[in-house]
Amino acid sequence: MAQDTCALRLAGPEDAPGIGVFLARHAATSMFLRSNIAAHGLAASEAPNATEVFVQDVGGAVRGVIGLSNQGQVMAQMPDGISDLSVARNRWAGRVVLGMTGVVEQVSRVLNALGLAHVPTGLDRAEPLYDLDLACLAGPFEKLRATRPDELQRLEVWFQEYLRDIGFAMDDQSARVQAAERAKRAVNGTAVRLLDDVHRTPVAMTTFIAEAGDTVKIGGVFVPRTARKKGYARHVVASHLAEARARGIKRAILSSASDAAGRAYEAIGFQRIGTYRIVLFKSPATIKGAT
């Protein structure tokens, strides 16, 4: 239950409804927080994306949220400004952080408050943020399919190229390790969707990297170099969103890593609504307690 205080406090399962209402008002820049909480709740969990959350209450209502996932990702939604984070910093002392995503100015302030402002980064990029009401989704729409176990090697190569394209791979070895992990998850699950050409050869992939309520966040969009400039990225994203719309999803969010990708998304109805910052450290950083 929300408390009438400005102090930051550790959230518990009873805070989920209030946090949910607050984050839904800032859905476009809170998708990872919303998705992690929706999937794992606010009780302790060993799941990689399970997130410990601190909340700030003002006038009996949630006005700010910050979380750290088991995987080491910091996320925050504090539109009224960053409060004193020392209570969170002290609790998280010794925890490893890989990076942070969120509203541009909030990322700077949170990292500074956690003592991570000067950690060397391998990636620090502000990307155009897009939004789409799926009632306005434009085609073309084509039939997509799930991955197959015999496509593991192909997907490893695709994920390696994808990670390099978006700047998420610190080096070749890192790209290979991450790609192998992602490819294995892809063939063992149903999240990744593939588009085949007329020869039944896969030419594009896409996935949803976060989902909460009636909103999804798109990621993992990739077209191999030999198949680019043929509209496949536009086709695969539109078709995936049409599938989501059919099961009740009403809104989609994404950020664009390139101008070409942005143009493809705009062609199916996405409109730019702001900027989203992604920070990945060169090496994992450790939070030190507040002094």
Distances (CA, A) of 119 to 98, 124, 286: 10, 11, 10
Q: Is residue 108 part of a domain?
A: yes
Are residue 15 and residue 116 in the same domain, yes or no?
yes
Q: How far apart are CA 222 and CA 206, in angstroms?
A: 7
Asked whether residue 257 falls in the same domain as residue 158, the answer is yes
For the entire predicted model, the pTM comes to 0.90
Q: Are residues 68 and 32 in the same domain?
A: yes
Does one domain contain both 164 and 188? Answer: yes
β-partners of residue 18 are none
| Same domain as 166, residue 103 | no
Q: Is residue 228 part of a domain?
A: yes
- Reference 43, options 14, 74, 73; nearest CA is 14
- Residue 214 belongs to some domain of the structure: yes
AA letter at 169: A
CA distance 29 to 64: 13
Same domain? 43 vs 155: no
Q: Do 90 and 146 sit in the same domain of this protein?
A: no
Do 115 and 216 belong together in one domain? Answer: no
For residue 273, is it within any domain?
no
Report yes or no on 182 lying in a domain.
yes
CB atoms within 10 A of CB 286: 14
pLDDT given for residue 3 in this prediction: 44
133 part of a folded domain: no
Residues 213 and 110 in one domain: no
pLDDT averages per 10-residue partition of the chain, 291 residues: 65 95 96 96 93 90 95 95 90 97 96 96 94 95 96 95 81 84 92 95 96 95 94 95 97 91 93 96 93 72
State the CATH number of the domain containing residue 237: 3.40.630.30
Q: What is the pLDDT of residue 5?
A: 53
From 217, 172, 162, 213, select the one nearest 29 (Cα to Cα): 217
Strands (E), 78-227: 96-103, 121-133, 145-146, 193-196, 202-212, 215-222
Task: Say yes or no: 122 and 191 in one domain.
Answer: no
The residue range of the domain holding 215 is 138-268
Domain CATH for 13 = 3.40.630
**67 within a domain of the structure (yes/no):** yes
Same domain, 99 and 196: no
Q: Are residues 118 and 154 in the same domain?
A: no
The count of structural domains within the chain is 2
In a domain, 1, yes or no: no
